[in-house]
Amino acid sequence: MSKRLIIWLAAIIVVIIIGAGSLFVVKEGEYKVVLKFGEAVRVEESPGLYLKIPFIESVSQLPKFQMTYESNPATILTKDKKPLIVDNYTVWRIKNPQNFLKTVQTVSGGVQRIDEAVYNTVRRKLSEVNYDNIISENTSRGNINDDITKDVSDAFVKDNYGIEIIDVRIKRTDLPVENKQSVYNRMISDRESIAARYLSEGDEESRKITSKADRTATELLAQAEADAKKIIAQGEQEAAKIYNEAYGKDPKFYSFYRTLQSYVTTLENEPVIMLPIDSPYTRILLGQ
């Protein structure tokens, strides 16, 4: 092989090496930060092929997508000094790769800063709330999560870490094992007290309703009896009026009619009656 050919081959190899060292690819969902002597000079985030100065510039890769960090459970005291085991998760992303590399440098470094900031904020927020308000059905947990998210996000913006905090959520609030039974017993006692109060209030309301119903029934019966007596009196008055009018029109017929009514009453049970033969009562019976 000639000397010239060797030189050409060496030159081609050098060109290939230099060319390969000057190209880099940016993929979807990642940042490529170009470093010059260890300092970030530019960031490429759109997918494609890019150039850099070989041997002088290097490339560092960082994730562009959202990431989730789940903290380890930690014990925190509430406002009323009740211990709680709390764990939470944080949704975050790298917003400014250059600041990120200057401050925390790596994803694991960013996670460590997030863990510290979230723990301190959660501990401070829960120390302002009583235990019962945290675990009750009408909890302000949603507001607490929003407040924690805002405080942590503001802290990272202030410190210029290049990190965006999207959401911080408390996943679980639990009692230490040694405290569970006493708290459960107290909760049971509280619920039994509430149930007894509800039963007492129900009994009192039942007595009120029954008393009102009895009073209404008594009033209705009294009114009905008064109305009945009034109607009977009116009927008797009307009957007497009719009798008087009938008697006035034909006294003899009325006397005869009354006598017949007395016969019906007298003979109702088929009694044995001794009457003088010449009495008017007997003559009527005999049709005389």
CA angle 196–200–204, rounded 5-degree value: 170
Q: How far apart are CA 114 and CA 167, in angstroms?
A: 12
- Is residue 24 in a domain? yes
Task: Average the pLDDT over 97-119 and give the result.
Answer: 90
Q: Which residue has the higher pLDDT, 106 or 35?
A: 106
**CATH number of the domain where residue 100 is located:** 3.30.479.30
Q: What is the pLDDT of residues 73-84, one digit of tens each?
A: 888 888 888 888
Distance in Å from the first CA to the final CA of the chain:
179
Residue 13's pLDDT is what?
Answer: 62
Run of H or E residues at 43: strand 39-44
| Residue carrying the six token digits 């460590």 | 112
User: Of 69, 174, 173, 172, whose CA–CA distance to 117 is shortest?
Assistant: 69
Q: How far apart are CA 131 and CA 83, in angstroms?
A: 9
Angstrom distances, CA of residue 15 to CA of 21, 22, 54, 124: 10, 10, 11, 60
* Domain final residue, candidates 63, 82, 114: 63
Please indicate, yes or no, whether residues 75 and 114 belong to a single structural domain of this protein.
yes
- Is residue 213 in a domain? no
- Is residue 254 in a domain? yes
- Is residue 209 in a domain? no
Under 8 Å between Cβ of 168 and 118: yes
Q: Residue 53 belongs to what domain range?
A: 3-63
- Is residue 119 in a domain? yes
Residue 2's pLDDT is what?
Answer: 67
Please indicate, yes or no, whether residues 34 and 74 belong to a single structural domain of this protein.
no
Structure tokens at 180: 């569970």
Residue 178 reports pLDDT greater than 70: no
Under 8 Å between Cβ of 92 and 166: yes
Residue 137 reports pLDDT greater than 50: no
User: SS3 for 40?
Assistant: strand
Please indicate, yes or no, whether residues 86 and 162 belong to a single structural domain of this protein.
yes
Please indicate, yes or no, whether residues 96 and 168 belong to a single structural domain of this protein.
yes
Please indicate, yes or no, whether residues 71 and 170 belong to a single structural domain of this protein.
yes
Please indicate, yes or no, whether residues 72 and 59 belong to a single structural domain of this protein.
no
Residue 138's pLDDT is what?
Answer: 46
Residue 222 reports pLDDT greater than 90: no
Please indicate, yes or no, whether residues 118 and 26 belong to a single structural domain of this protein.
no
Q: How far apart are CA 256 and CA 253, in angstroms?
A: 5
CA angle 81–82–84, rounded 5-degree value: 130
Please indicate, yes or no, whether residues 13 and 76 belong to a single structural domain of this protein.
no
Please indicate, yes or no, whether residues 140 and 110 belong to a single structural domain of this protein.
yes
Count how many domains the chain has: 3
Please indicate, yes or no, whether residues 170 and 71 belong to a single structural domain of this protein.
yes
Task: Average the pLDDT over 82-109 and give the result.
Answer: 89
- Is residue 227 in a domain? no
Q: pTM to 2 decimals?
A: 0.54
**Secondary structure of 90-137 in HEC code, one letter for each residue:** EEEEECCHHHHHHHCCCHHHHHHHHHHHHHHHHHHHHCCCCHHHHHCC
* Domain final residue, candidates 174, 203, 223: 174
* Domain final residue, candidates 143, 174, 205: 174
- Supply the mean pLDDT for the chain: 79
- Is residue 212 in a domain? no
Q: What is the pLDDT of residues 16-73, one digit of tens each?
A: 555 555 777 888 888 888 888 777 778 887 787 777 777 777 788 889 899 999 988 8
- Is residue 122 in a domain? yes
| Residue carrying the six token digits 């029109």 | 249
Find residue 44's DSSP bridge partners.
32
Helices (H), the chain: 3-21, 97-103, 107-126, 131-135, 141-159, 177-249, 251-266, 280-285
**DSSP code at position 63:** E
Q: Is the Cα dihedral 140, 146, 149, 155 positive or negative?
A: negative
Find residue 170's DSSP bridge partners.
88
